[in-house]
Structure 1
Amino acid sequence: MKTLNYVLVPLLALMAFGPAPKPKKPATGMPATGLSATGLPATVTMTKAALQDKIKGGWAGQVIGCTFGGPTEFKFNGTMMNDYQPIPWYDGYIKKTMVENVGLYDDLYMDLTFVDVFEKKGLDAPVSEHANAFANAGYMLWHANQVGRYNILNGMKAPESGHWLNNPHADDIDFQIEADFSGLMAPGMPNTAVQIGDPIGHIMNSGDGWYGGVYVGAMYSLAFVSNDVNYVVREGLKAIPAQSTFYQCIADVIKWHDLYPTDWKRTWLEIQRKWADEVGCPDGVFAPYNIDAKINSAYIVLGLLYGQGDYTKTMQISTRAGQDSDCNPSSAGGILGTMLGYDKIPAYWKQGLAEAEDIDFKYTTMSLNDVYGIGMKHALQVVERNGGKVSGNNVTIAVQTPKAVRLEQNFTGHYPTEKRAVNKDLVGPHQAGPHPAGDEYTATFEGIGFILSGEARPKAQGNQYDYESNYTGQLEVYVDDKKIETANLPASFTRRRYDMTWKYQLAPGKHTLRVKLLNPDPDYPVRIRTLFVFGDKPILAKY
């Protein structure tokens, strides 16, 4: 079987999008001893100034893309943003957004959490340091990040905290938007970028969710040593196992770009037709909303391939593809910014940037100017650790050929079959309210798994909520009269359990779910919202 895979994986890659392009010249530098298997020089030498310029371009590009796409985030779900839809951009906009909309920059302050740990604890800091810093940070989180945080705070460790059996959002985009740091620390060394990001990515993700960060990190790394967008997109994909759905999705985008090289909207439609179905995240099941890593990564690649190195086209396309349309141009803009370097990012996109570069990102003590310097320091350390050399004003990088990481595939054999509205408050047996009340809920379903969504939330005081309440609901969960857990449901927004309870890999057939709130409090209703059911076969519409 192993022998077969050695033949099959490269064959699948060839079938997916044809032969690799001819080797391109490196971004800067000179070969030392022949060519690496990437077709690039085995080593690339650049000045420290050139390396710093690329690191600055990567971080600044993230800010530019995040700011530009911010007003459109998840406002165009399952539909592209057509050309007549204006997206603002003007001098002073970056500073205004950084001051007035601090939560937009989760792409950045999440990255910087890990950068800060490396700075304070060293490059060999254990994953527990990153997990604890992430879990105890003051920022609000959603999806795989929040589930990972909850798991860490409740005693679970990585990688179990990001495993799909413990995290229904394991395929979501979270690590993909946070993995920039790994590639920016490892110029020209995609395998090292993957190694740096691997344990951190598994705090909150696994499977396709982890692959999103692997791929983005690899593309950043390669963007230091190649000026060819097509090459970086294809070469970076070698880090992903060909058997995975993530690889297959991105390979399709590359193939469709080859077929329709001047029509990004045609490729967008093909992506939508084949890859728009959500399986894991309940928010996207039977809904146009999609925060899955692979389709949003497809939109990053869409922007890069059809932008062809033009910063404006790359920003516009990766944003107008929709869904997570601040994170996607942030990743695309950061990768292209690394390739071009800060100085070559067009002035139009840097207008007002200088006046924002000394502003600390919320929840951090780091500004862009700080991270430019810290990023350079870490990159030089990583270069020297991995066969490179820093001598005077020159940096010599030992270029790596991307190697496919291990295969992880989430939710195999699980297919959404039902989305059942519940809308029941667990407030105690004698409490009245607008929704059915009581301290228990029972449902029967047929399938192999379920997610019950909902939350504990304090009653509103006017238009205000006490988002950091100390109340924690305790929910006993039974499947077929067997207790499977007692779930803690903090009313605190930063400590909350993103989904109330879930279970996969049940025996096929009918099951009874019963939940009982052990400590109801009328000031903290526990709202059950929706029951999601998974079967072992997809339900296909019949026409």
Structure 2
Amino acid sequence: MRLSWTQPEDLLPHALEAARLDGRDQREIRRRWTEAGGSPEPIVSGASPEPAPEHLRTLARTLLTELDELPEQPALAAAEPEDLDAILSGGGPALEAPGRDFEDRLLGAWLGRAAGCLLGKPVEKLPLEGIRAIARATGNWPLDSYFTEIGLDPWVAGKYPWNRRSRPNSLAENIDGMPEDDDLNFPLIALTLLERHGRDFTTGDVAQAWLDLLPGGRVFTAERIAYRNLLDGYAPETAGRVRNPFRDWIGAQIRTDVYGWTNPGDPATAARLAWTDARLSHGRNGIYGAMFVAAASAAAVTGAPIETVIDAGLSVVPPTSRYFLAVMRGLELGEGDLSDEAAVDALHAEYGHLHWVHVLNNAALLAFALARGAGDFERTITLAVSGGWDTDSVGATAGALTGAVTGAKGLPPRWIDPLDDRLASSVPGFAGTRFSALAARTAEVSR
């Protein structure tokens, strides 16, 4: 078995790339690795097919530690702070309190998150041209329904295979309720944290909840590294900083909607809770993604216009950060004159050098879909998923935000009815739970 996102020889190329993107001088470490016979090319899938020789594995562990010890660039540290007070130094927008339709908006957020995630699940990891080819071959382009393999040309199917875990339960002809996904598991854990500890939970409480509620095989990339480091005895406040090349990836951004849903109209508090959660596994832009989504969610459940939702998210992100710039680029394209496909192509030309699970490319795509979708649920989730990269995660966040703005009663039945108000999950206590029950529990926590 080749476990992904954990083998030292597979982590090191990702760590070299992360250091390069941060402007840290990793050239000497790269030279030592390649001269020893190691490959500098990151494995996209997270695991090479065969284990490296033991001398390379030992060297990789050493070099990962040396990369952690490289000095930070002072300009980057100033532009992208990790201290909470420094991040939240600016003020947020004034928001209206939620109305009597608040619980319907919560249900819309849960259902929207599920539908957007489900739409993206079967094409997760596929290249952009593969998503377009499959959709066109089945008469579903531009996207206007869940993916299907009915009528799919065998040649296209062979060239662009579905995500193997999602094909049995996420194609239109197979959907029977919402299947398990980490994009839904983490909101369940956030809800559990708030029910157990209230708004005063700590990063240590988040760590304990993961160890109590999540099998190790249900966490990936930065979360898997932090999970392993917790088991290795590192404190929660440092577990995400050790030999972790994925701190700027998307994992924390998928975990924090509930902090916004339970703090309606209060983006700053939602962002503080998101920071407390995200710092277990992420840093800098990975943390900003978590804070952006939490703050935007706090606005969305008040029924605010999508422009206000985006502004609320940006109000808790340092304007000098790469995350802020990525969101602004997505908004620019979303509000511009390029066609949908041409705008997405422009994003891929600018951000295509990043791994498909990185936070920056996916943040730009999310912002594009939100801006061009203009609050329309179906338009937004189909734009988000048809843009590629981390399709289920971006689809989930886009669906949650526009689902909250729309409210459950206004969501198109053809996207919601297949969910059958049921969610599969391995998180204890949530197997077969109802979205309507989750909305009621979320409303109770918000009080």
Q: TM-score range by the shorter chain?
A: 0.5 to 0.7
Residues 110-143 of structure 1 show CA distances to partners (whole Å, capped at 9, x for unaligned) of 2212221221333323321220221342252210
Q: For 2:98 and 2:319, how far apart are their aligned partners in 1?
A: 32
Of the three residues 102, 116, 119, the one matched with 1:68 is 119
CA contact (8 A) 2:105 2:303 kept: no
For 1:154, give the aligned amino acid. Answer: D
Q: For 1:152 and 1:37, how far apart are their aligned partners in 2?
A: 34
Of the three residues 223, 235, 247, the one matched with 2:300 is 223
TM-aligned CA deviation for residue 294 of structure 1: 1.5
Aligned residue for 2:239? 161
Q: Percent identity?
A: 20
Q: For 2:92 and 2:222, how far apart are their aligned partners in 1?
A: 35
Indicate how the Cα distance of structure 1 residues 81 and 208 shifts in structure 2: closer, same or farther if over 3 A, else same. Answer: farther
Residues 41-75 of structure 1 show CA distances to partners (whole Å, capped at 9, x for unaligned) of xx43512xx11111111111111111111111111
CA contact (8 A) 2:108 2:400 kept: yes
- Asked if residue 332 in structure 1 is aligned to residue 332 in structure 2, the reply is no
Q: For 2:325 and 2:436, how far apart are their aligned partners in 1?
A: 38
Q: For 1:304 and 1:313, how far apart are their aligned partners in 2?
A: 9
CA contact (8 A) 1:227 1:340 kept: no
TM-aligned CA deviation for residue 301 of structure 1: 1.7
Aligned residue for 2:66? none
Which structure's relative contact order is higher, taking Cα pairs within 8 Å and 6+ residues apart?
2
- Asked if residue 95 in structure 1 is aligned to residue 184 in structure 2, the reply is no
Residues 404-457 of structure 1 show CA distances to partners (whole Å, capped at 9, x for unaligned) of xxxxxxxxxxxxxxxxxxxxxxxxxxxxxxxxxxxxxxxxxxxxxxxxxxxxxx
- Asked if residue 364 in structure 1 is aligned to residue 428 in structure 2, the reply is yes
- Asked if residue 257 in structure 1 is aligned to residue 334 in structure 2, the reply is yes
For 1:55, give the aligned amino acid. Answer: L
Indicate how the Cα distance of structure 1 residues 91 and 275 shifts in structure 2: closer, same or farther if over 3 A, else same. Answer: closer
Aligned residue for 2:351? 275
CA contact (8 A) 2:98 2:264 kept: no
Q: For 1:257 and 1:221, how far apart are their aligned partners in 2?
A: 22
Residues 292-333 of structure 1 show CA distances to partners (whole Å, capped at 9, x for unaligned) of 011112222222111122222112110010111111111100
Structure 1 residues 170-181: aligned runs within 5 Å: 170-181=247-258
Q: For 1:341 and 1:115, how far apart are their aligned partners in 2?
A: 20
Aligned residue for 1:344? 410
Of the three residues 278, 288, 305, the one matched with 2:371 is 305
Which 4+ stretches in 1 moved above 6 angstroms? 89-92
Structure 1 residues 392-541: aligned runs within 5 Å: none
Aligned residue for 1:38? 93
- Asked if residue 129 in structure 1 is aligned to residue 205 in structure 2, the reply is yes
Of the three residues 197, 201, 212, the one matched with 2:289 is 212
CA contact (8 A) 1:91 1:351 kept: no
Indicate how the Cα distance of structure 1 residues 221 and 121 shifts in structure 2: closer, same or farther if over 3 A, else same. Answer: closer
Q: For 2:262 and 2:123, how far apart are their aligned partners in 1?
A: 30
Aligned residue for 2:269? 192
TM-aligned CA deviation for residue 271 of structure 1: 1.7
The structure carrying a bigger helix percent of its residues is 2
Q: For 1:121 and 1:258, how far apart are their aligned partners in 2?
A: 41
TM-aligned CA deviation for residue 239 of structure 1: 1.4
Indicate how the Cα distance of structure 1 residues 79 and 159 shifts in structure 2: closer, same or farther if over 3 A, else same. Answer: farther
TM-aligned CA deviation for residue 202 of structure 1: 0.7
CA contact (8 A) 1:230 1:305 kept: yes
Aligned residue for 1:56? 107
Instruction: Name the SS for the 1:241 alignment partner.
Output: coil
For 1:373, give the aligned amino acid. Answer: A
Indicate how the Cα distance of structure 1 residues 232 and 147 shifts in structure 2: closer, same or farther if over 3 A, else same. Answer: same
- Asked if residue 84 in structure 1 is aligned to residue 142 in structure 2, the reply is no
Q: For 1:45 and 1:61, how far apart are their aligned partners in 2?
A: 18
Aligned residue for 1:524? none
For 2:189, give the aligned amino acid. Answer: T
TM-aligned CA deviation for residue 37 of structure 1: 6.9
Aligned residue for 1:480? none
Indicate how the Cα distance of structure 1 residues 192 and 330 shifts in structure 2: closer, same or farther if over 3 A, else same. Answer: same
Q: For 2:173 and 2:105, how far apart are their aligned partners in 1?
A: 24
Instruction: Name the SS for the 1:211 alignment partner.
Output: helix
Q: For 1:170 and 1:128, how far apart are their aligned partners in 2?
A: 18
TM-score, scaled relative to structure 2: 0.67
Of the three residues 225, 229, 244, the one matched with 1:147 is 225
Unmatched tracts of structure 1, length 5 or more: 1-7, 10-35, 279-283, 285-289, 381-543
Aligned residue for 1:20? none
For 1:52, give the aligned amino acid. Answer: E
Residues 161-180 of structure 1 show CA distances to partners (whole Å, capped at 9, x for unaligned) of 223x5411101110111111
Structure 1 residues 110-125: aligned runs within 5 Å: 110-125=186-201
Q: For 1:192 and 1:376, how far apart are their aligned partners in 2?
A: 16
Instruction: Name the SS for the 1:371 alignment partner.
Output: helix
For this pair of structures, how many residues does the alignment match?
324
CA contact (8 A) 1:249 1:275 kept: no
For 2:237, give the aligned amino acid. Answer: P
Indicate how the Cα distance of structure 1 residues 45 and 200 shifts in structure 2: closer, same or farther if over 3 A, else same. Answer: closer
Indicate how the Cα distance of structure 1 residues 352 and 152 shifts in structure 2: closer, same or farther if over 3 A, else same. Answer: same
Q: For 1:267 and 1:273, how far apart are their aligned partners in 2?
A: 10
Q: For 2:98 and 2:392, how far apart are their aligned partners in 1?
A: 34
The structure carrying a bigger strand percent of its residues is 1
Indicate how the Cα distance of structure 1 residues 241 and 307 shifts in structure 2: closer, same or farther if over 3 A, else same. Answer: same
Indicate how the Cα distance of structure 1 residues 214 and 93 shifts in structure 2: closer, same or farther if over 3 A, else same. Answer: farther
Instruction: Name the SS for the 1:318 alignment partner.
Output: helix
